[in-house]
Amino acid sequence: MSGGRLRIQVFGAGELVPAFEGFDAVRAGTVEMNHANSYFWTGKTAAAQYFTAVPFGMNFQGMNGWFYDGGGLELWNEVYAPFGMVALPCGNTGVQMTGWFKKEINSVADLKGLKMRIPGLAGKVYASLGVDVKVLPGGEIFPALERGVIDAAEFVGPFQDRRLGLHKAAKYYYTTGWHESATVSELLINKAAWDKLPADLKAIVTNAAAACNVISEAWCQKHNSEAMDDLIKNQGVIASRCPMR
């Protein structure tokens, strides 16, 4: 889109900075941008988590309405202003699954004492129900679940969960997640670097991020349905509706 004027080099978690340290890296100017979910920065500013997902919150269309036309994006950048950063929605994985469990869950009482990987505001809800909440980066979820370090885990949805191999460590898979009805990915940008860009490049980044936001959710709808079908028919997964009510 920029005709070569803007070049972005991408690094995975751990290649340049460790997982969960993207916020500090952008703030310090070590990197100009970070792509993640804002609820991982709750320790930096509690309000950050509201821009990823809220339990029993808005769906994909509602989140976009709030961001683009309801003042959500302005509020997001107001929260980050003291840190010298700006943010844009840059992806959405849609409604998430309740997660993977090593044992069958029949009621809320069955949650008590479980060790579960789950971030954000949902983690606070689970903690109030007696769950030992763990926050782990994606790459650490499978080994932790396989070795019994955790008893349950929530990640994204059927396609990405299958990609991590979570179905090989736990067979009970519950739908549909109340905790993240639409999960927003964040493009976090160092404001000093952002302010150096001319207006047209800022517009290109903004619109590219918006395109990623819309296209990624559509992609997830299609691929998650196919992955879910495979998990049930071919991978021995026991899938059922969320019993936690």
Average pLDDT over residues 221-229: 97
pLDDT digit string, tens, across residues 160-210? 999 999 999 999 999 988 999 999 999 999 999 999 999 999 999 999 999
Contact 243, 174 (CB under 8 A): yes
pLDDT at residue 24 above 70?
yes
pLDDT digit string, tens, across residues 83-132? 999 999 999 999 999 999 999 999 999 999 999 999 999 999 999 999 99
- Bridge partners (DSSP) listed for residue 89: 186
Predicted local confidence at residue 3, as pLDDT:
96
Q: What is the phi/psi pair of residue 142, to 5°?
A: -60, -50
Q: pLDDT above 70 covers what percent of the chain? A: 99
Ordered by where they begin, the domains of the chain are 22-95+182-224 (3.40.190.170), 99-180+235-241 (3.40.190.10)
In this prediction, residue 242 has a pLDDT band, given cuts at 50, 70 and 90, of confident
pLDDT at residue 245 above 60?
no
Taking residue 233's Cβ as centre, other Cβ atoms within 10 Å add up to 9
Place of tokens 């808005």: 58
In this prediction, residue 243 has a pLDDT band, given cuts at 50, 70 and 90, of confident
